[in-house]
Amino acid sequence: MDLTYKPSEHHTPRHGKRDAIMDAAIEVFGKSGLDGANVDEIARTAGVAKGTIYLYFKSKHEIFDAVLTERWPGPFLDVLLPDMASIPELYELPIETALEELGIGFLDAVEDNLIVLRLALAEAYRYPERGEHLFESTFLKANRMVARYLENQATAGVIAPLPNPIITARCLQGMLMTYILSQELLQGKKYTPIEKRDWVKEVVRLFLRGVEGSGQGSKTGTDRMDTN
């Protein structure tokens, strides 16, 4: 089962002037930040008249909000993993394999939208509602998906019972996101180059040491249930 992130498959096809404006805005925001960007520069970058932008957006802030809504990997989660807890094939894989593939897919999606993440984080302090949207549309959504999956695996006896699956899932998510923070946002890759898959494999290894219980973590949910 291939759970890796493929932008060409999971992004809504982009066409027309509105999408060109949003693409240009991401480029301009990435260079100048939200404060430094202006509609004139976005129009030049998009190759449209300034008035054309106002046919679609009232301001650069409205463009920014549209970018967060439409270009952040929330749609990836909706399409690729609408409810991972209900995907039968996921339970046929050893749990470490499933978590590794899910981890790689999630980090690929975040990396593909790294400019948007930088912008959202930079603006979250001044505009809390944008930070809230960022959390709810991606991190909380992924958190709940993983929590349901882990809860089902605990019920099947693959891992130990979990007192709070949301907290357990968020710990896993946090370990994965440290890759983005340290290697990408803080440019740690210049000093300690680490392959993304190596990072994910080590995160999953350490994570499973904490939830394996009786040492059955490498079995699939189906295998574990068959032994009872």
| pLDDT tens, residue order, the chain (228 aa) | 555 555 544 444 456 899 999 999 999 988 888 889 999 999 999 999 999 999 999 999 999 888 887 877 665 566 655 556 667 788 889 999 999 988 998 888 888 888 888 887 877 777 788 778 778 877 888 888 899 999 999 999 999 999 999 999 999 999 999 999 999 889 999 999 999 999 999 999 999 999 976 444 455 555 544 444
Q: Look up tokens 């899932």; give the residue.
A: 169
From CA 201, how far away is CA 208, in angstroms rounded? 11
Q: Identify the CA nearest to 211 among candidates 175, 165, 144.
A: 165
- Ramachandran area for residue 187 (φ above 0: left; ψ -120 to 50: alpha; else beta): left
pTM: 0.75
**Cβ(160)–Cβ(146) under 8 Å?**
no
Task: Output the CATH code of domain 72-226.
Answer: 1.10.357.10
- Residues of CATH 1.10.10.60 domain(s) within the chain? 9-66
Domain 9-66: top CATH class: mainly alpha
Listed in order, the ranges of the chain carrying CATH 1.10.357.10 are 72-226
Query: 201 is written with which tokens?
Result: 């494999």
